[in-house]
Amino acid sequence: MSQLPAIGLGTWQNTDPEDCVNSVKAALEMGYRHIDTAQFYGNETVVGEGIAAADVQRDEVFVATKVHAEKFGLAHEEVIEGLEVSLDRLGLDYLDMLYVHWPVGNYDPTETIPAFDELVDSDLINHVGLSNFSVELLDEARDELESDLFAHQVEMHPLLQQDELLADAQAHDQYLVAYSPLARGNVFDVPEIQDISEKHGISEAQVSLAWLLSKDNVRVIPKASSDDHIRDNFHATDVNLDTEDVERINNINRTERFVEREGAPWLQ
């Protein structure tokens, strides 16, 4: 399996042009090598400007975006058109990965998925990703896909541990990319996270990210815009939680989701 950097910069809601450019540039120059955006975020242009402004070679950066049913649609030609628009906005010749953002709207695996294979064959994308799918929908997509499915991106954090989707990713040797890995800041108030943070003298954010990264096949894309938070998150890769810490977080018996939308698979 090709390597996906352990930690990437999430850019959802980072729509202030100056802040977005500066945060992407700062993250890359700090050592990040994975930048995640989406058509739906409305910031592909400024994300691209941040990538261009950083003193880092393009081929060192893993760039991913997502096609969205409500932006261009997910029919075959709409996927192709949407990718071309995203490349133009990002100022790039190719993407390292393109995701289906949600399996909603006019998503149809027999129509949508072959378009991704065509983009791989055309060298416009290197890898195929899916986001917010169920195991059943992943299986349907894999049946249609000639390329390897590289990653599945979902909300994942200590309050939504996604055991079933993690097992699926590990069984198929795919990455599970955790968005909202800090549960929109709610992990900061979890007693187990607070205790482990105090024990090791690290931030609650680093505890949550290190716990996720302790799991095989998991990668994280925390959103941050300030240099301090970008740096703090990045250094979660230096944290090694002990077995007791990991098990204590594993045993948090809560299922709290902070990202919802009509038509999501878990609402069916």
Catalytic site residues? 41
Q: Can you tell me the distance from the alpha carbon of 185 to that of 218, in angstroms, rounded to the nearest whole number? A: 20
Residue count of the chain, please give it. Answer: 268
Give the relative orientation of helices 191-200 and 243-250 as an angle to the nearest 10 degrees: 170
End-to-end, the C-alpha distance of the chain in Å comes to 32
Is residue 147 within 8 A of residue 172, CB to CB? The reply is: no
CA distances to 90, 132, 147, 205 from 95, rounded to whole Å, are 9, 20, 15, 29
Q: Shortest CA distance to 40 belongs to which of 104, 111, 96?
A: 104
Q: Can you tell me the distance from the alpha carbon of 169 to that of 150, in angstroms, rounded to the nearest whole number? A: 9
Q: Shortest CA distance to 216 belongs to which of 257, 259, 163?
A: 163
Is residue 9 within 8 A of residue 43, CB to CB? The reply is: no
Q: Helix H segments across the chain?
A: 17-30, 44-53, 76-90, 109-121, 135-144, 163-171, 191-200, 204-213, 227-234, 243-250
